[in-house]
Chains A and B, each alone.
Chain A
Amino acid sequence: EPEVTQTPSHQVTQMGQEVILRCVPISNHLYFYWYRQILGQKVEFLVSFYNNEISEKSEIFDDQFSVERPDGSNFTLKIRSTKLEDSAMYFCASRTGTGGSEAFFGQGTRLTVV
């Protein structure tokens, strides 16, 4: 069964360092997303990506964040200068279309900023 895969499963980084979280969406999907979940809090939308550009982003997704689809398979989230409050579980998701179509999620990357 096709699935969304994320690497690494856990990343520890020092404050101020850059991190890149990687995702391989399902191959025929067109819409890609990043969400995050700070421990004990809601799953929050960060950004959506379609046709090689950002389609929507939340207030959380400031200039420290960027996304890229460098080739036909990977979808990455970069945090330029990590802060302690960036520590969270980051989920990648993809789906075929808009509206009620199902989003498939990866297992998540737990980012710990120390």
Chain B
Amino acid sequence: GNSVTQMEGPVTLSEEAFLTINCTYTATGYPSLFWYVQYPGEGLQLLLKATKADDKGSNKGFEATYRKETTSFHLEKGSVQVSDSAVYFCALSDRFPSGYSTLTFGKGTMLLVSP
């Protein structure tokens, strides 16, 4: 079945540091890949996505590249801010034979950025 593995958190960084959160996946088909973010007290928000191999998703300074050969979708940001402190979830969407699809999530990685 499908699965997503993320690095354990919390990740603690100083403002302006470089961020990498690793994500690898297992899927039977050709999934779409997502990063969702959950700020304190809020719901899950889509941060970025990539729908096919070698696509790069980007938003708010965050980037992730769909690497089929390594089954990875690592999240990066060149310079984090205190406001980036949140929980980040890697997810994939795969299509069932029925045609319907659903999301499979990783455990989430908490990012804490200090001034």
List the interface of chain A (C-beta within 8 A of B).
4, 6, 31, 33, 35, 41-45, 48, 50, 55-56, 91, 93, 98-100, 102-108
Residue B43, interface by CB 8 Å: yes
Q: Say yes or no: A105-B44 contact (C-beta < 8 A), given A42-B108, A43-B108, A99-B32.
A: yes
Which one of A48, A56, A91, A105 has the greatest number of beta carbons of chain B within 10 Å? A105
Q: Which of B11-19, B74-82, B89-97 sits within the interface?
A: B89-97
Task: Kindly report which residue of chain B lies nearest to residue A43, judged by CB atoms.
Answer: B105
Complex contacts, B46 vs chain A, CB 8 Å: 102-104
Tell me the number of A-to-B contacts counted with CB atoms below 8 Å.
62
Task: Kindly report which residue of chain B lies nearest to residue A46, judged by CB atoms.
Answer: B102
Taking a contact as CB atoms under 8 Å apart, the answer to whether B103 and A45 are in contact is yes
| Contact residues on B (Cβ < 8 Å of other chain), bracket | 20 to 34
Choice from A48, A93, A100 contacting B49 with Cβ under 8 Å: A100
List the interface of chain B (C-beta within 8 A of A).
32, 36, 41-46, 49, 51, 89, 91, 93, 95-96, 98-108
Taking a contact as CB atoms under 8 Å apart, the answer to whether A100 and B51 are in contact is yes
Complex contacts, A31 vs chain B, CB 8 Å: 100
Complex contacts, A50 vs chain B, CB 8 Å: 100
